[in-house]
């Protein structure tokens, strides 16, 4: 019986420590080439060949999965900047991230983003 008590305690601790996954739906866009090399909100340089993104409120360093709703393609990015500052858009992607989900030609796409809270 003592082992069952430890098992229950372990399960409760693990359940409490696991972060819930959060999703958001909205539009994504991507950075124009003219921003390559400019300083982002967290102080690092924007590099169009890295898998990074801007979000209005998520903490810097948050890993986000971005899914293109039209084709199901997905990419994982790290938040390192603030934005987008256009109504209805929830994330701005680096050019490399946009290319991975076929966003380049469209410029803007409906996406779902997932991350741990």
Pairwise CA distance, residues 66 & 87, whole Å:
18
User: 77-101: b or e for each residue (b if 16 or more CB lie within 10 Å)?
Assistant: bbbbbbbbeeeebbbbbbbbbbebb
Interval 13-63: pLDDT, tens: 555 556 678 999 999 999 999 999 999 999 999 999 999 999 999 999 999
Neighbours of 24 (CB within 10 A): 14
Number of Cα atoms under 13 Å in the Cβ half of residue 88 = 5
Q: What is the dihedral of CA 3, 9, 13, 16, to 10 degrees?
A: 140
| Residue 11 reports pLDDT greater than 70 | no
Give per-residue pLDDT as tens, 54-101.
999 999 999 999 999 999 999 999 999 999 999 989 999 999 999 999
Domains, in order of start, for the chain: 20-116 (2.40.40.10)
Tell me the two tokens of residue 37: 């090399």
């Amino acid at each position: 019986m003592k082992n069952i008590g430890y098992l229950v305690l372990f399960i409760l601790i693990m359940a409490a420590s696991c972060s819930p996954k959060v999703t958001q739906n909205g539009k994504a866009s991507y950075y124009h080439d003219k921003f390559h090399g400019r300083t982002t909100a967290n102080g690092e340089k924007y590099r169009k060949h890295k898998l990074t993104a801007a979000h209005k409120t998520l903490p810097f360093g948050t890993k986000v999965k971005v899914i293109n709703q039209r084709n199901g393609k997905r990419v994982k990015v790290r938040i390192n900047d603030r934005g987008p500052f256009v109504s209805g858009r929830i994330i701005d992607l680096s050019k490399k991230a946009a290319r991975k989900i076929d966003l380049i030609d469209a410029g803007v796409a409906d996406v779902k983003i997932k991350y741990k809270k």
